[in-house]
Amino acid sequence: MKNRKLWTRPLSPDFKAHPPWFAVHGVSGYNRPMALTMPMAFSVLRTDRDSQARLGRLITPHGEIATPAFAPVGTQATVKALDPRDLRELGVELILANTYHLYLRPGAEVIAEMGGLHRFMGWEGPILTDSGGFQVFSLAANRTVTDEGVAFRSHLDGSLHVFTPEKVMRIQELLGADLIMCLDECAEPHDRAYNEQALARTHAWAEACRNAHRRPDQALFGIVQGGIFPDLRQQSAEFLVGLDFPGYAIGGLSVGETKEEMQAMLGITVPLLPANKPRYLMGVGAPEDILESVARGIDLFDCVLPTRLARNAALLTRQGRINIRNARFERDPAPVEEGCRCYCCRHFSRAYLRHLFKAEELLAYRLATIHNVHFMIALMQDIREAIAQDRFLSFKEQFLARYPIIPHEVRAANREKRGARRATPSGMSRAGRS
Ligand SMILES: [Zn+2]
């Protein structure tokens, strides 16, 4: 594995206290025996003086993740338009893959037979898989929920499937990600009665997942739900902490509630989670949400936002999003963002990128995705540096002062439009609109 140094982080002074597993075992990631692996370890290196923001290190069997961290989404075992070498060069330390999609195609057994997800997709860094629950619940008309699990029809061929907590654990163990999730039910955030029902199931399923979980090299996270209801969020956090998971995810946010409602729920939930365990806010990736959530003590994020925007010609800059198809870029020799160190900005002009999008050239998607993922990774690096230097709040204020936030109504309308265009599960699709 002579390439491993490309993605592992430099060894830190307390390397001896928390050696990554390859240093302990001295063997490559390919086909290593399970007995040689060690479970996830997490340490908080520093907490910001003026907020709950914290700097941490998450060690997985496939490498270290400096937190707060952002994970690009690789729905179908690929981060659309990028290859693993791109991801390493971009400094990506964690990616997310979707259990629902991989279970349906190519199938978890196929992936296991091919050596597991890391080997199958050629990415030897850390991977997180969701439980598939979020996609299944977004199938709306095509699923039936009972206390045992969810029956659903595949969006690919209409075939009937059932996800139970045990099944979802088995699938995720076959895939072999480093961080795996319990089956949960993500309810419409404002529907009290539905949230009460869904929470009872989410809790029973968390217990069942915990009992069914076998692989010691995979860390299973519990998922806090409860919509926008403070008492339900509290109940959920307390119940799951009682089950003593190695990490906690917060689900059911960024699904239609306002930013204020989301932050209020974090304000209630995060203080109830153990300080020494990682906290993962699922599906959140707008820069302004990341900054506010880091301030409340969140360590991990994932979102399709940077990659999906890129494929729609929307590029992230510190002054907000620009649409590179715009006529004003026709003769613009400047890079997408002045000062950006990404491959796209170092080599190409806005005029060229605009031309590629207009001509529907494949390189357009790749260059735009490189820039947007770089933007997120650089933002997380700046956040970590600010926390390390006790100036996180002033960094956050400075960033937000320049970064225009898209109003709730516009976001809601976009969400609606996407939903109408899509006959496939939320967040991903056959057409590559993830
Ligand atoms: Zn760039």
Task: Return the pLDDT at 413.
Answer: 86
Strands (E), 119-275: 127-129, 143-145, 150-153, 160-163, 179-181, 219-224, 247-250
Catalytic position from the list 130, 178, 184, 217: 130
What average pLDDT does range 125-144 have in this prediction? 90
**How much distance in Å is there from the Cα of 406 to the middle of ligand 1?**
21
Task: Return the pLDDT at 148.
Answer: 96
Instruction: Round the average pLDDT of the chain to a whole number and report it.
Output: 90
Task: Return the pLDDT at 424.
Answer: 56
CATH number of the domain at 4-27+36-303, please? 3.20.20.105
Task: Return the pLDDT at 264.
Answer: 97
Cis peptide before 278 (omega within 30 of 0): no
Question: Which of 273, 191, 263, 180 has the alpha carbon at shortest distance from 224?
Answer: 273
**How much distance in Å is there from the Cα of 27 to the middle of ligand 1?**
36
130 assigned to active site: yes
- At 420, list the tokens: 């109408």
CB 162 within 8 A of CB 151: yes
Task: Return the pLDDT at 417.
Answer: 82
Write out the H or E segment, with its range, that includes residue 316: strand 314-317
pLDDT in tens, 278-303: 999 999 999 999 999 999 999 999 99
**How much distance in Å is there from the Cα of 375 to the middle of ligand 1?**
7
CB 322 within 8 A of CB 334: no
- For the entire predicted model, the pTM comes to 0.89
- At 37, list the tokens: 């692996």
Percent of the chain with pLDDT over 70: 88
pLDDT in tens, 73-115: 999 999 999 999 999 999 999 999 999 999 999 999 999 999 9
What average pLDDT does range 362-388 have in this prediction? 98
pLDDT in tens, 47-81: 999 999 999 999 999 999 999 999 999 999 999 99
Residue 334's contacts (CB-CB under 8 Å, 6 or more residues apart) are 349, 350
CA distance 332 to 268: 47
pLDDT in tens, 360-369: 999 999 999 9
Write out the H or E segment, with its range, that includes residue 90: helix 84-90
Question: Which of 387, 398, 315, 318 has the alpha carbon at shortest distance from 357?
Answer: 315
Domain extent listing, the chain: 4-27+36-303, 315-390
**How much distance in Å is there from the Cα of 371 to the middle of ligand 1?**
4
* pLDDT greater than 70 at residue 130: yes
**How much distance in Å is there from the Cα of 53 to the middle of ligand 1?**
27
**Sheet with 150-153, side-by-side order of all strands:** 143-145, 150-153, 160-163
Task: Return the pLDDT at 12.
Answer: 42
CA dihedral 280, 286, 289, 295 (to 10 degrees): 70
One-letter amino acid at 46 equals R
CB 239 within 8 A of CB 203: yes
- pLDDT band (50, 70, 90) for residue 411: confident
Who surrounds ion ligand 1 at CB < 5 A?
340, 342, 344-345, 371
Q: Residue 69 CA to chain centroid, in angstroms?
A: 9
Task: Return the pLDDT at 426.
Answer: 55
Residue 333's contacts (CB-CB under 8 Å, 6 or more residues apart) are 349, 350, 351
Task: Return the pLDDT at 23.
Answer: 38
CA distance 403 to 367: 22
CA distance 288 to 376: 11
* pLDDT greater than 90 at residue 195: yes
Task: Return the pLDDT at 415.
Answer: 81
CA distance 303 to 16: 33
- pLDDT band (50, 70, 90) for residue 346: very high
Is residue 331 packed enough to be buried (19+ CB in 10 Å), middle (13-18) or exposed (0-12)? exposed
Task: Return the pLDDT at 142.
Answer: 86
**How much distance in Å is there from the Cα of 308 to the middle of ligand 1?**
16
pLDDT in tens, 386-399: 999 999 999 999 99
Task: Return the pLDDT at 351.
Answer: 98
* pLDDT greater than 60 at residue 1: no
- pLDDT band (50, 70, 90) for residue 420: low
CB 284 within 8 A of CB 70: no
pLDDT in tens, 242-259: 999 999 999 999 999 999
Task: Return the pLDDT at 37.
Answer: 59
What average pLDDT does range 229-243 have in this prediction? 98
What average pLDDT does range 255-274 have in this prediction? 96
In 10 A of CB 217, how many CB atoms?
A: 19
* CA separation, residue 190 to residues 6, 21, 252, 261, 281 (Å): 45, 44, 10, 10, 19
Q: Which residue has the tokens 């490309």?
A: 6
302 assigned to active site: yes
Q: What DSSP string runs through 182-196?
A: -------TT-HHHHH
